[in-house]
Structure formats: C-alpha cells, structure tokens
Structure 1
Amino acid sequence: MLTVWYNTRCPVCDAGIARQKRRLIEAVKAGRIAFRDINAEPAALAGYGVSLEDIRRRLHATDADGRLLAGADVAIAVWKATPGEGWLATLLGNPVALPLTRFIYDRFADLLYGWNRHKGRW
C-alpha cells in the first residue's frame, strides 16, 4: 500500500489531495493507497527521521515495501496509481526529466511552505 502523508492545513495541499482521493476512490476502498493527515499523527514518520515540519514542507509517503518517498517522487507514485495520469508519471518521472521535476517541485514546495507559515497555518 502507498500511504501518502500531507498537510491538511495547507489549502493548496488539501485541495490537491482531495482531487486525487476522488480520482483514486476505488484504490482507496481496496486499500492500495491511503491519504493521511500529518497533523493528526505528527510523529508518524519519526522512525524514518522525518519531522512534522518536513512533511508540512513536502509530501511524504511510504510504499508497500516500507520505503520512504518524498516530494516529487510521491507525486509521481500517485500519478502512476491514478487512472488517466500515468502519462504524467512517465513524462516527469523518466531518468532525464526527474532531476528537473524534483527541482521544480522543491522550489514550489518551498514557496508554498513559506506562504503557509506567513499565514499562520500551523
């Protein structure tokens, strides 16, 4: 199972995950993917050395093998599981594009994190 940890206090993050949940309803019902609010379980990934602030800054997930994913790698894993979005995973997750995908995701996540902190969404 892919378990995605995200920050429900971020309106952009919450809206994006709500959209994915709707697209992945069958996978959620079947237990192939889960979306969890890190604010409800702030120490959930402490065993991986991941803090609450890390997850508020970037998406994190654990896969079926217990491996930790972060940032763009989570988005790619979710796109792979989402009907009609596998092409995004292929396009943005290929070995040539992946470094740029990660860079752009990280810069956007940094801006979003700063905006949320400025707005007091913690």
Structure 2
Amino acid sequence: MASEWPGGYIASLDVRPLAPPLPGRTTAWISTGLDLVAGEAASPLAFFVALVDTANGIAVRQSPEEWMFPNVDLTLHLHRAPRGRWTGLDTTVVFGPTGQGVTSTVLHDADGPVGHAQQLLTVRPRP
C-alpha cells in the first residue's frame, strides 16, 4: 500500500495481500504493532474496527494521484465478535458515472467471516 498511499498511518500497517491487487478488488490481511491508544490495552473489537476504514484505500480503482475518492461514511454489520489482531478485508470498490461510489468489504478474523462493511464514496478528479 505504501506505493499508493504515503504517510505514517500506512507505514505503520503490516499488509499481506492474498494475491496481487486488481483495480477495485483486493483481499488482504492487515494488522499493526501499534496500540489504538499508546500504552493502553484495547479490546479485540476496538482493535479490529480501527483497521476497517483502511478498506477504501486497499482496493483502489484509480490512481490517488489523479483521483480523490474519500469515504463519507462507514457502516459495519458484525454477526459475531472478532478475535485476534488481524483484520481480513475482502474488498470491492465500484464507481458510478456521476461521482458516487461504494466500497464493500467482507470482514474476517482468523476464525472466518465476521461481518460486512460499506463505505459510500464521493469521486472527483484531482484539480
């Protein structure tokens, strides 16, 4: 991810794709060695959820140097509590013709599927 997104947050992640990413499609495991709050223990749920927002940046459809596609919200639907320090993201990104998009992710932990995440996008060319 560091080739697409420079910065401290991305550099703090351990990203392990299951296959080479395709435009708008990636399956990867992500984790970080950093605490959610420095020196404080976080619950497995808090640690897991803190990484979910990364889904929109992990499966880019267009170059972030040429396009902006921030998510304007994030909705999670979990059917069980996640375990462990790894977040699995099976992510698909679609853009519509009028500047909207959706990032859809099936969420996993080491035991299997945990739920789904949806992120609505606003899509614009960079000025």
Normalized against structure 2, the TM-score is what? Answer: 0.29
Q: Which has the higher strand share?
A: 2
